């Protein structure tokens, strides 16, 4: 005799069954095509030379002045249609970022750039996580760096994933 658990007693994680492995692989492969994280961007920039992409800060000038990733291009989302062609090379992939995970500005900027023909990824965590992980950043006053937040920064500088 087989018994079935009532819907109320089903583990909330499994209330909706996981996707089939092939479907899950396609989803996660696609996700990696659209997103990158601050540790990977920092490592690519720290390696020296041409990283093969350009970083675009799509926030306001006041936010840019407060702090931005070194070497980033400042291109607020609202100015992308008029200025992207002057500031960015269409053949170079773009990584967009805004303030942090609670903001969809980088998503809107990535959409605007993709609609113009750019290959683009969004930086997960944005500037907030760049600073929280202890990476150096530039301000209107010059270079700055905060101590890494132990809840967000990888142990020993690398999370091992």
The CATH number assigned to the domain with range 35-155 reads 3.40.250.10
> Domain locations in the chain?
35-155
Rounded-to-integer distance, Cα 95 and Cα 40, Å: 11
pLDDT at 2: 52
Kindly report, residue by residue over 65-92, the tens digit of the pLDDT: 999 999 999 999 999 999 999 999 999 9
Kindly report, residue by residue over 1-46, the tens digit of the pLDDT: 555 555 557 888 888 999 999 999 999 999 999 999 999 999 999 9
**Average per-residue pLDDT in the chain?**
92
Q: What is the pTM of this model?
A: 0.87
Instruction: Give the confidence band of 153 by pLDDT, cuts at 50, 70, 90.
Output: confident
Bridge partners (DSSP) of residue 40 are none
Instruction: Give the confidence band of 50 by pLDDT, cuts at 50, 70, 90.
Output: very high
Q: If you search the block for the tokens 């270079």, which residue do you land on?
A: 143
The percent of residues in the chain predicted with pLDDT above 70, rounded, is: 90
- CB within 8 A of 36, min separation 6: which ones? 95, 121, 122, 123, 124
Q: Do 133 and 152 form a contact (C-beta atoms < 8 A)?
A: yes
Q: Do 88 and 56 form a contact (C-beta atoms < 8 A)?
A: yes
């Amino acid at each position: 005799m087989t018994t079935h658990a009532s819907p109320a007693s089903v583990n909330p994680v499994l209330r909706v069954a996981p996707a089939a492995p092939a479907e899950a692989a396609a989803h996660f492969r696609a996700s990696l095509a659209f997103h990158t994280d601050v540790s990977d961007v920092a490592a690519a920039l720290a390696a020296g030379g041409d990283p093969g992409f350009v970083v675009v800060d799509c926030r306001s000038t006041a936010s840019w002045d407060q702090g931005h990733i070194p070497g980033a291009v400042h291109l607020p989302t609202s100015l992308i249609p008029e200025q992207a062609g002057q500031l960015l090379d269409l053949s170079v992939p773009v990584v967009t970022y805004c303030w942090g995970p609670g903001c969809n500005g980088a998503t809107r900027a990535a959409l605007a750039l993709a609609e113009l023909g750019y290959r683009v990824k969004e930086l997960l965590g944005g500037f907030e996580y760049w600073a929280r992980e202890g990476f150096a950043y530039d301000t209107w006053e010059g270079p700055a760096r905060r101590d890494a937040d132990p809840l967000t920064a990888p142990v020993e500088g690398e999370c091992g994933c």
